[in-house]
Amino acid sequence: MEIDVFTLFPEAFEWFSEQRHVSNALEAGARLGYVNYRDHTPLSGGQVDDTPFGGGAGMVLRVDVVEAALRARYGVDPIELVGRRRVLALTPGGRVLDDAFVDELAAEPAITLLCGRYEGFDERIIERFATDRLSIGRYVLAGGELAAMVVCDAILRKLPGALGHADSAVEESFSAALEGAPEYPHYTRPADHRGWRVPEVLLSGHHAKIREWRREQSRLRLEQDLGSPGGRGSGDGRG
Ligand code: ADE
């Protein structure tokens, strides 16, 4: 898996790149690279954005700047790139990320994430250079960097070797092993804290009963989720 993140703030990813599951995934063969739009701008003074035609607040990332950065990284006209690589523009109105979307992206050999800033992208960037528009939720962030970290985190932790324990990503929330339901609750020591006791079944050592209890808890959480405002029963998440 190869992920390239195009951003004005590659230094924002330093902490993220050092996280154990990320470094594990990289050691296991994944690649995570960063391209700073500003390093490739054809404009003077490091300019990357401009005021919107028609007026309005904020600044818009320029199409010629993004084109130059993509060309520098891949050595081709970026309109040819979309035929051979998933290029995702991070934008609040895009397809909302969920576990199925993460699986889809994790199965790609390579993806590119384009971070916007300020008011976002010149629309021609999305129309001509991107295969997808991706949102991490229906709210507006100041830029795509946090969204890119969310996407990278969700993908990289699914790759073989990223998590310490081989089974950790198998039976987790929304996985096929739990039939798409949220994960069951976890408890650890102490078994009793201020009278708040851990469910007896988990202390029983009876594995079949524990499995059954966990499936049931997972199903109950799914029912709650489907009934709650903003839960999965309230829309398909596509914008
Ligand atoms: N950029 C700004 N807000 C965003 C969001 N919610 N998802 C993805 N990219 C964004």
Atom of ligand 1 nearest to the CA of 134: 8
Residue 223: pLDDT over 80: yes
The residue whose C-alpha atom lies closest to atom 4 belonging to ligand 1 is 92
pTM: 0.91
Q: Which of 75, 72, 74, 100 is nearest to 87 (CA)?
A: 74
- Minimal-distance CA residue to ligand 1 atom 5: 92
Q: How far is the CA of 120 from the centre of ligand 1 (A)?
A: 9
pLDDT tens across 151-163, in order?
999 999 999 888 8
| Per-residue pLDDT at 238 | 41
Pocket test for ligand 1, best of 9, 60, 88, 136 (most atoms within 8 A of CB): 136
| CA–CA gap between residue 143 and residue 222 (Å, rounded) | 32
Q: Is 186 left (phi over 0), alpha (psi -120 to 50) or beta?
A: beta
Is the backbone peptide bond immediately before 190 cis, with ω within 30 degrees of 0? yes
**Residue whose CB lies within 8 A of the most ligand 1 atoms, among 9, 60, 90, for a mutation test:** 90
- CA-to-CA distance for 234 and 232, rounded, in angstroms? 5
